[in-house]
Amino acid sequence: MKTINRSAWLGAGLAAMPALALADGAPTLVDASTISAGDTAWMLTATALVLFMTIPGLALFYGGMVRRKNVLSTLMQSFAICALITVLWTVVGYSLAFTPGNPFIGGFDRVLLDGLVYLKDDAKLTTHPLAGTIPESVFMMFQMTFAIITPALITGAFAERMKFSAMLVFMTVWSLAVYVPVAHWVWAPGGWMADHGVLDFAGGTVVHINAGVAGLVAALVLGKRVGYGREAMAPHNLVLTLIGASMLWVGWFGFNAGSAVAADGRAGMAMMITQIATGAAALAWMFAEWIAKGKPSVLGIASGAVAGLVAITPAAGFVDAKGALAIGLISGVVCYWGATGLKHMLGYDDSLDAFGVHGVGGIVGALLTGVFAVKAIGGVEASLSAQALGVAITMAYCAVVTFVILKLVDAVIGLRVDEEKEREGLDLVLHGERVE
């Protein structure tokens, strides 16, 4: 039987599954008595927390950072993506990501969720081999929330200049062509990255590197905002941004602790590790900015907290408190440089620092997982070379496919609003509404 590295990610869920089901990654019809009420209750809560991260958390975080004339369009992007990915994940995304296929893509066993059942009278239901103590419906929903937030993160890079129609088309194709395959590589039984020892507890590679790199490519393809570098583009409402960052921090416990897929000690450990790394990163960014600019800003400490959340995500189920502190401190400083020094040095307009925080933070976290992982906690030996392989391949694949998708969308319907509409503001020209 093939060894599945993903078993280290899960814990209790795998123990309840038949060996054959785990080997081929196929969901299985089981007796309802095998379901853990405690695990199910926790995963229902975690799923709600992760959805809360996008709406309203990320929507407010990004919405406060744009100019007043673009706040509604920014909020609309996160909300519309939530609806769009819900449908895509139901129709085919979940099936391609988490049912048996080959090392690179899943199959079609769950198209339109065919075969995912709950039979009350027969006291049976389906479970997934990665989450054997909870209903498959809950596992499907939990994974859906990850699929929702990933493209929503990308919007921060091209904020204030992409057509809404182009955004919808791009996100549809990107989610199926980039997010779904990478999720299968890293998380599905038999995925090629999982079999090569790439560790990603809750999405450092699948979510944050993917989103960050896609955002960078989008920023480069669309070009800079009109007036960038010459006109003031200060955030219109940092109160919204801080509220959004706070919601992200709280919701992230569902993201990381929920990825234990059980109400157990590993979930508790992941929650603690997440809090430690986030606090360390927020302070690291704050002090780095204080030293560099003479004042600590609200936007800075909020961005630092998000950087820590991003960086600890791949490591949350593998490191101890010392590792969490180190990852938090390093990511806070490096992401501060990524959002300021790197962006200015290379001259691209990553509007809300999607790459500077999520791309850079995801890379840092994925690599440092290979440095600080503790076998006694995660149950596996970490390999820096395996982590570097996962980072490099994900970045390359995401960059190339994202570029191709953007160019195709641009050729067919155009990506960007014209200069006059951009100056007027996307709220009014795209949605016919504005904040008074």
Distances (CA, A) of 43 to 136, 137, 371: 11, 11, 29
pLDDT at residue 332 tops 90: yes
Q: Is 416 helix (H, G, I), strand (E, B) or coil?
A: strand
Mean per-residue pLDDT of the chain: 94
pTM: 0.94
What tens digit of pLDDT does each residue of 152-205 get? 999 999 999 999 999 999 999 999 999 999 999 999 999 999 999 999 999 999
Domains of the chain, CATH where assigned: 2-431 (1.10.3430.10)
Arithmetic mean of pLDDT, 372-385: 95
Measure the CA dihedral 308/348/242/291, to 10°: 70
pLDDT at residue 369 tops 90: yes
| Beta-carbon count within 10 A of 121 CB | 5
What tens digit of pLDDT does each residue of 240-262 get? 999 999 999 999 999 999 999 99
pLDDT at residue 10 tops 70: no
φ/ψ of 124, rounded to 5, equals: -135, 155
Give the lowest-confidence range in 357-361, 377-381, 391-395, 397-401: 377-381
Distances (CA, A) of 290 to 280, 295, 297, 312: 15, 5, 8, 23
Identity of residue 18: P
Report the run of H or E that residue 31 belongs to, with start and end: strand 28-31
pLDDT at residue 144 tops 80: yes
Report the run of H or E that residue 274 belongs to, with start and end: helix 265-293
Is residue 383 exposed (0-12), middle (13-18) or buried (19+ Cβ within 10 Å)?
middle
What tens digit of pLDDT does each residue of 34-61 get? 999 999 999 999 999 999 999 999 999 9
Distances (CA, A) of 288 to 150, 334, 340: 28, 10, 11
Q: Rounded CA gap, 193 and 5, in Å?
A: 9
Provide the 8-state DSSP code for 131: B
Q: Rounded CA gap, 73 and 164, in Å?
A: 8
Provide the 8-state DSSP code for 2: -
Arithmetic mean of pLDDT, 286-305: 98
Residue with tokens 């809300």: 352
What tens digit of pLDDT does each residue of 298-313 get? 999 999 999 999 999 9
Q: Rounded CA gap, 57 and 241, in Å?
A: 9
pLDDT at residue 146 tops 70: yes
Arithmetic mean of pLDDT, 368-390: 96
Question: In the numeric block, which tokens belong to residue 119?
Answer: 């039979």
Asked if the peptide bond before residue 151 counts as cis, ω within 30 degrees of 0, the response is: no
352 DSSP β-pair partners: none
pLDDT at residue 436, rounded to an integer: 82
Arithmetic mean of pLDDT, 334-357: 96
Q: Identify the band that residue 24 occupies on the pLDDT scale cut at 50, 70 and 90.
A: low
Arithmetic mean of pLDDT, 133-148: 98
Percent of the chain with pLDDT over 90: 94
pLDDT at residue 161, rounded to an integer: 97
Q: Rounded CA gap, 198 and 367, in Å?
A: 10
Angle at 219 between CA 293 and CA 430, to 5 degrees: 105
φ/ψ of 31, rounded to 5, equals: -70, 140
Q: Identify the band that residue 25 occupies on the pLDDT scale cut at 50, 70 and 90.
A: confident
Question: In the numeric block, which tokens belong to residue 150?
Answer: 């990933």
pLDDT at residue 411, rounded to an integer: 98
Residue with tokens 């091209």: 158
Residue that wins the pLDDT comparison between 4 and 426: 426
What tens digit of pLDDT does each residue of 313-328 get? 999 999 999 999 999 9
pLDDT at residue 22 tops 80: no
